[in-house]
């Protein structure tokens, strides 16, 4: 046997061993999950029945007491994560129902896209995305602060920030919502559109393209990827982000369509945007206009149109926030001391 | 046990951009890694197929639910559709190799070097039932095996989604011998897109055109001549000069590749470092970037000099290596890897 044949034999043995271990892992995991399923089947049924009984009891009690002040009870819905079918080793855990958490929105982090040496998309007139996003964010901040929400901005002036720093800032500020503001540039110059993204897998190559453009200069290292991707499908955050995106997109389109009749509603989309992967709170990225369209670029240069964008996003945020709270606020939030 | 004639051995290089297969019956095929399903009955009538692959899928994309299922050479996590797409893609590749009726298929599939264990499991799950037995190996290992470059060699496999490094030390490579970077073909495309947009804001082009331009003209260092491409400007085909943009985009790979190459070299046993330096092989589509081998050799000059050379058949090297592994693995090993 030649030296090369010996080496090849040795290496083949290594490759086969690794694959057999992989197979053993799979068999082990399948067995373990089957056992887990059996083990949890009865306790889960018992827990589900108990939870249902509690719900019925509370409902009857609320009616009999004339519906006084709502009791502070965490209602566990019968369908829990334990009931997710465990047919295979890669079954993702079922998303936790967001309704389990009664969480208020106190602080909003606004992220004006691009900045500094990175102008973002540019109009033929020279209008840069970074100017528009900052101006809209400032206007949105004023509206939110008037309604007594706390606001933090990832950048206050014309400075560049990698996506990682934007996400780190939002997390350090302990924001409850994250709104990244961008302006689109699309190949079809005649198209005028608004769209809103939340975190998830890209729905196609065009969305991948948007994601790869928006993910430039992320500042993340390869070693961060596993941790980052583990965050992508975190159920609650994703579901809340999707709802937030829906409210903002609806409001934004309705608000702008009045002044821009040819505007297209490109809807809510999911994409693996790095800035949304790194943030720990529900977050969205709003493409508020298309600077590639001459008419929209002209509108974007106007202060009243930017104010309309800010107001429309604000309405969307407000709808989302109100839908989360026990009773809709009619007056502004009570301002916290020192805020 | 099945005789040789009852078995078809195949090597598959599963790539983000393109996937290739080499089979023991002599067939070789490469397809772009796109899979698309008609969106409705009308689309199905027009395309006349229930599923389309590669270039055909890309060309019919407005009528398809189109998927590019491999992210950094692995199945995108969390998407059943992408899992189905990768299964269909591998099925399609195997069908191109045309196994005879009743012939069993033993497949070796190359994936990025630092593929996470769970992703390999995803791949194994996706391929279940498509091949009779499956072995997953790292792409650079498959390349090295096919070229008998198993000792004192460094393979740098520049794909679309990842660049994989692997030092062959005469043993089956461990994690310490391998690195994966996301600086690869797709990141060059993103850079080029941004740079060309900035220089020719009036021109209209897609990411697919950018990829074609890169594949035809990629270079680093000294320009081999003006790089001129055609794109519509105001609806009229116009010649655009993108010479400096092409160089800048391609050179974005040089620093990360050089750093990683030197880092891996520094970890080789001191007495073998010179041998490895003199034996650096560039594989994958990115190895075709003109001048890249020379620039990396200049980097090696700082640490005592070395030799970097592109391999001869970058499109099929991984698949051919996989086929060699498949053919060399004894029957009893394949029996362990069945199912």
pLDDT tens sequence across A283-338: 999 999 998 888 899 999 898 999 999 999 999 999 988 876 554 444 444 444 33
pLDDT given at position A76: 32
Q: Give the tens place of pLDDT for each residue, B106-152.
A: 999 987 765 554 466 677 777 777 889 999 898 899 999 999 999 99
**Tell me, what CATH number does B325's domain have?**
3.30.420.40
Mean pLDDT value of segment B2-25: 85
Model confidence band, residue A5 (pLDDT cutoffs 50, 70, 90):
confident
Give every CB contact of residue A198 below 8 A, 6+ residues apart in sequence: A238, A241, A242, A244, A245, A268, A269, A270, A276, A283, A284, A285
User: In this model, does residue B186 exceed pLDDT 70?
Assistant: yes
Q: Would you say residue A31 lies in a domain?
A: yes
Q: Give the tens place of pLDDT for each residue, B241-262.
A: 999 999 999 999 999 999 899 9
Q: Would you say residue A76 lies in a domain?
A: no
Query: Do residues A65 and A111 share a domain?
Result: no
- Beta strand B64-67 with B70-71 is unpaired
User: In this structure, are residues B16 and B70 in contact, taking their beta carbons and an 8 Å threshold?
Assistant: yes
**Domain edge (last residue) among A52, A69, A86:** A69
Query: Do residues B245 and B323 share a domain?
Result: no
Cβ-nearest to A92 among B78, B182, B207 = B78
**Domain edge (last residue) among A69, A96, A115:** A69
Q: Is A275 exposed, middle or buried (0-12, 13-18, 19+ CB in 10 A)?
A: buried
Binary contact (A23, B205; C-beta < 8 A): no
Cβ-nearest to A229 among B77, B82, B125 = B77
Query: Do residues B139 and B27 share a domain?
Result: yes
User: In this model, does residue A193 exceed pLDDT 70?
Assistant: yes
CA distance linking residue B268 with residue B196, whole number of Å: 40
Model confidence band, residue A204 (pLDDT cutoffs 50, 70, 90):
low
User: In this model, does residue A11 exceed pLDDT 80?
Assistant: yes
Q: Give the tens place of pLDDT for each residue, A101-111.
A: 445 788 999 99
Distance from CA of B226 to the nearest CA of A (A): 25
Mutation site, B34, B54, B57, B77, interface A, largest A CB count within 10 A: B77
**Domain edge (last residue) among B215, B233, B251:** B251
Closest-CA residue to A101 (of A71, A76, A68)? A76
Say whether residue B201 is in contact with chain A using an 8 A CB cutoff.
yes
List the structure tokens of A21. 């271990």
Q: Is A253 helix (H, G, I), strand (E, B) or coil?
A: helix
pLDDT given at position A2: 82
pLDDT given at position A330: 41
Binary contact (A12, B329; C-beta < 8 A): yes
Q: Would you say residue B264 lies in a domain?
A: no
pLDDT given at position A203: 56
User: In this model, does residue B322 exceed pLDDT 90?
Assistant: yes
Lowest mean pLDDT among A36-45, A116-125, A188-197, A284-293: A36-45
Query: Do residues B135 and B20 share a domain?
Result: yes
Chain A residues close to B118, C-beta within 8 Å: 90
Binary contact (A89, B182; C-beta < 8 A): no
Cβ-nearest to B145 among A11, A16, A189 = A11
Please identify among residues 68-87 of chain B the ones whose CB lies closer than 8 Å to any CB of chain A.
68, 76-79, 82
Residue of A nearest to B146 (CA): A8
Q: Would you say residue B236 lies in a domain?
A: yes
Segments forming the whole domain that contains residue A21: 1-69
Distance from CA of B265 to the nearest CA of A (A): 20
Q: Which of A28-42, A59-73, A82-96, B82-96 has the highest mean pLDDT?
A: B82-96
Angle at B257 between CA B251 and CA B259, to 5 degrees: 115
Model confidence band, residue A23 (pLDDT cutoffs 50, 70, 90):
confident
CA distance linking residue A260 with residue A270, whole number of Å: 25
Query: Do residues B40 and B133 share a domain?
Result: yes
A138 versus B14: which is more confidently predicted?
A138
Distance from CA of B123 to the nearest CA of A (A): 11
pLDDT given at position B21: 96
User: In this structure, are residues B95 and B21 in contact, taking their beta carbons and an 8 Å threshold?
Assistant: no
pLDDT given at position A77: 32
A181 versus A2: which is more confidently predicted?
A181
Query: Do residues A174 and A258 share a domain?
Result: yes
> Within its chain, how far is the Cα of B229 from the centroid?
25
> Within its chain, how far is the Cα of B300 from the centroid?
25
The DSSP H or E segment spanning A314 is helix A303-324
Mean pLDDT of chain A: 72
Q: Would you say residue A273 lies in a domain?
A: yes
Please identify among residues 14-33 of chain B the ones whose CB lies closer than 8 Å to any CB of chain A.
none
The chain A residues in contact with chain B (CB within 8 A) are 4, 7-20, 22-23, 25-26, 88-90, 92, 122, 124, 185, 187, 189, 200-201, 204-205, 208-209, 212-213, 216, 222, 225-226, 229, 232-233
Binary contact (A22, B124; C-beta < 8 A): yes
**Domain edge (last residue) among B214, B230, B251:** B251
CA distance linking residue A74 with residue A98, whole number of Å: 12
Q: Would you say residue A154 lies in a domain?
A: yes
Please identify among residues 290-329 of chain B the ones whose CB lies closer than 8 Å to any CB of chain A.
325, 328-329
Binary contact (B172, A88; C-beta < 8 A): no
Query: Do residues A52 and A113 share a domain?
Result: no
Lowest mean pLDDT among A53-67, B18-32, B226-240: A53-67
Binary contact (B333, A226; C-beta < 8 A): no
CA distance linking residue A240 with residue A234, whole number of Å: 10
Query: Do residues A55 and A146 share a domain?
Result: no
Residue of A nearest to B232 (CA): A187
Q: Would you say residue A252 lies in a domain?
A: yes
User: In this model, does residue B82 exceed pLDDT 80?
Assistant: no
Mean pLDDT value of segment A270-286: 85
Binary contact (B329, A16; C-beta < 8 A): yes
pLDDT given at position B289: 96
Q: Would you say residue B277 lies in a domain?
A: no
User: In this model, does residue A223 exceed pLDDT 70?
Assistant: no
Mean pLDDT value of segment A215-229: 53
Q: Would you say residue B179 lies in a domain?
A: no
Say whether residue B139 is in contact with chain A using an 8 A CB cutoff.
no
User: In this model, does residue A90 exceed pLDDT 70?
Assistant: no
User: In this model, does residue A166 exceed pLDDT 70?
Assistant: yes
Cβ-nearest to B116 among A201, A226, A232 = A226
Give the total number of structural domains in chain A. 2
% of chain B beyond a pLDDT of 70:
92
Mean pLDDT value of segment B38-56: 89
Say whether residue B202 is in contact with chain A using an 8 A CB cutoff.
yes
User: In this model, does residue B95 exceed pLDDT 60?
Assistant: yes
Mutation site, B37, B135, B181, B324, interface A, largest A CB count within 10 A: B135
Cβ-nearest to A23 among B78, B79, B337 = B337
Q: Would you say residue B173 lies in a domain?
A: no
Binary contact (B172, A8; C-beta < 8 A): no
Query: Do residues A112 and A63 share a domain?
Result: no
Q: Would you say residue A180 lies in a domain?
A: yes
Query: Do residues A125 and A62 share a domain?
Result: no
Give the total number of structural domains in chain B. 2
User: In this model, does residue B160 exceed pLDDT 50?
Assistant: yes
Binary contact (A11, B150; C-beta < 8 A): yes
% of chain B beyond a pLDDT of 90:
55
CA distance linking residue B77 with residue B71, whole number of Å: 9
CA distance linking residue B133 with residue B331, whole number of Å: 11
Distance from CA of B99 to the nearest CA of A (A): 24
Query: Do residues A145 and A206 share a domain?
Result: yes
List the structure tokens of B17. 């951009």
Query: Do residues B121 and B190 share a domain?
Result: no
Q: Would you say residue A85 lies in a domain?
A: no
User: In this structure, are residues A301 and A122 in contact, taking their beta carbons and an 8 Å threshold?
Assistant: no
Q: Give the tens place of pLDDT for each residue, B288-301.
A: 999 999 999 999 99
Chain B residues close to A19, C-beta within 8 Å: 134-136, 337
Q: Would you say residue A208 lies in a domain?
A: yes
Segments forming the whole domain that contains residue B32: 4-144+316-336
Q: Would you say residue B244 lies in a domain?
A: yes
Binary contact (A124, B201; C-beta < 8 A): yes
Query: Do residues A37 and A114 share a domain?
Result: no
Model confidence band, residue A207 (pLDDT cutoffs 50, 70, 90):
low
Chain A residues close to B134, C-beta within 8 Å: 19
- What single DSSP character describes residue A224? G
Question: How much is the ipTM here?
Answer: 0.84
Backbone angles phi, psi at A163, to 5 degrees: -60, -35
Beta strands in chain A (DSSP E): 107-112, 150-153, 177-184, 193-199, 264-271, 283-290
Q: How many CB atoms lie within 10 A of CB B331?
A: 13
Distance from CA of B48 to the nearest CA of A (A): 22
pLDDT given at position B243: 96
Backbone angles phi, psi at B186, to 5 degrees: -65, -35
Say whether residue B66 is in contact with chain A using an 8 A CB cutoff.
yes
User: In this model, does residue B168 exceed pLDDT 90?
Assistant: yes
User: In this structure, are residues A87 and A226 in contact, taking their beta carbons and an 8 Å threshold?
Assistant: no
Cβ-nearest to B190 among A19, A189, A213 = A213
Chain B residues close to A7, C-beta within 8 Å: 150-151, 170
Chain B residues close to A18, C-beta within 8 Å: 172
Cβ-nearest to B121 among A14, A16, A25 = A25
């Amino acid at each position: 046997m030649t030296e090369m044949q010996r080496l090849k034999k040795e290496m083949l043995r290594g490759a086969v061993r690794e694959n057999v271990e992989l197979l053993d892992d799979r068999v082990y995991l399948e067995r373990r999950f089957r056992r887990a399923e059996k083990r949890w089947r009865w306790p889960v049924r018992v827990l589900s029945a108990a939870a249902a009984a509690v719900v019925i009891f509370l409902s009857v009690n609320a009616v009999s007491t004339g519906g006084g002040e709502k009791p502070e009870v965490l209602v566990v819905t019968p369908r829990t994560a334990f009931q997710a079918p465990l047919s295979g080793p890669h079954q993702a855990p079922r998303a936790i129902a967001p309704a389990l958490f009664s969480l208020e929105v106190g602080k909003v982090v606004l992220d004006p896209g691009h900045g500094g040496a990175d102008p973002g998309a540019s109009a033929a007139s020279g209008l840069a995305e970074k100017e528009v996003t900052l101006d809209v964010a400032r206007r949105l901040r004023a509206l939110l602060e008037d309604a007594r929400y706390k606001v933090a901005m990832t950048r206050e002036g014309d400075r560049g920030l990698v996506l990682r720093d934007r996400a780190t800032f939002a997390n350090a500020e302990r924001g409850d919502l994250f709104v990244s503001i961008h302006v689109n540039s699309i190949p079809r110059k005649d198209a005028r559109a608004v769209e809103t993204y939340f975190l998830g897998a890209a729905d196609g190559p065009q969305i991948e393209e948007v994601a790869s453009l928006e993910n430039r200069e992320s500042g993340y290292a390869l070693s961060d990827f596993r941790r980052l991707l583990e965050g992508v499908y975190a159920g609650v955050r994703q579901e809340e982000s999707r709802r937030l995106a829906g409210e903002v997109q609806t409001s934004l389109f309705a608000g702008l369509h009045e002044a821009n009749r040819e505007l297209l509603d490109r809807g809510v989309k999911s994409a693996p945007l790095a800035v949304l992967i790194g943030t720990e709170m529900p977050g969205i990225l709003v493409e508020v206009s298309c600077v590639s369209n001459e008419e929209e670029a002209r509108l974007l240069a106007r202060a009243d149109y930017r104010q309309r964008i800010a107001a429309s996003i604000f309405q969307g945020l407000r709808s989302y926030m109100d839908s989360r709270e026990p009773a809709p606020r009619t007056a502004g939030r009570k301002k916290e001391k020192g805020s | 046990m099945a005789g040789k004639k009852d078995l078809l051995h195949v090597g598959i290089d599963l790539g983000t951009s393109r996937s290739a297969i080499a089979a023991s019956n002599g067939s070789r095929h490469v397809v772009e890694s796109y899979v698309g399903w008609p969106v409705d009955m009308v689309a199905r009538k027009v395309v006349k197929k229930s599923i389309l692959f590669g270039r055909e899928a890309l060309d019919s994309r407005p009528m398809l639910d189109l998927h590019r299922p491999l992210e950094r050479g692995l199945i995108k996590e969390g998407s059943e559709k992408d899992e189905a797409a990768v299964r269909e893609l591998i099925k399609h590749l195997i069908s191109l190799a045309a196994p005879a009726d009743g012939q069993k298929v033993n497949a070796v599939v190359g994936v990025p070097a630092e593929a996470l264990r769970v992703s390999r499991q995803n791949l194994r799950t996706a391929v279940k039932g498509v091949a009779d037995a499956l072995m997953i190996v790292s792409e650079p290992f498959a390349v090295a095996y096919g070229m008998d470059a198993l000792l004192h060699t460094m393979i740098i496999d520049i794909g679309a989604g990842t660049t994989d490094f692997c030092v062959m030390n005469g043993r089956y490579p461990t994690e310490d011998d391998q690195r994966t970077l996301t600086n690869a073909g797709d990141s060059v495309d993103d850079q080029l897109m941004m740079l060309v947009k900035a220089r020719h804001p009036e021109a209209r082009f897609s990411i697919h055109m950018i990829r074609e331009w890169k594949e035809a003209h990629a270079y680093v260092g000294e320009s081999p001549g003006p790089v001129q491409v055609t794109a519509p400007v105001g609806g009229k085909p116009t010649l655009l000069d993108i010479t400096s943009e092409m160089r800048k985009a391609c050179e974005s790979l040089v620093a990360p590749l050089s750093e990683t190459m030197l880092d891996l070299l520094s970890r080789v046993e001191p007495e073998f470092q010179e041998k490895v330096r003199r034996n650096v092989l560039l594989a994958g589509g990115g190895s075709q970037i003109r001048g890249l081998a020379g620039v990396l050799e200049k980097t090696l000059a700082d640490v005592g000099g070395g030799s970097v050379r592109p391999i001869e058949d970058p499109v099929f090297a991984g698949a051919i290596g996989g086929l060699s592994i498949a053919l060399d693995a004894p029957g009893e090993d394949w029996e362990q890897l069945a199912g």
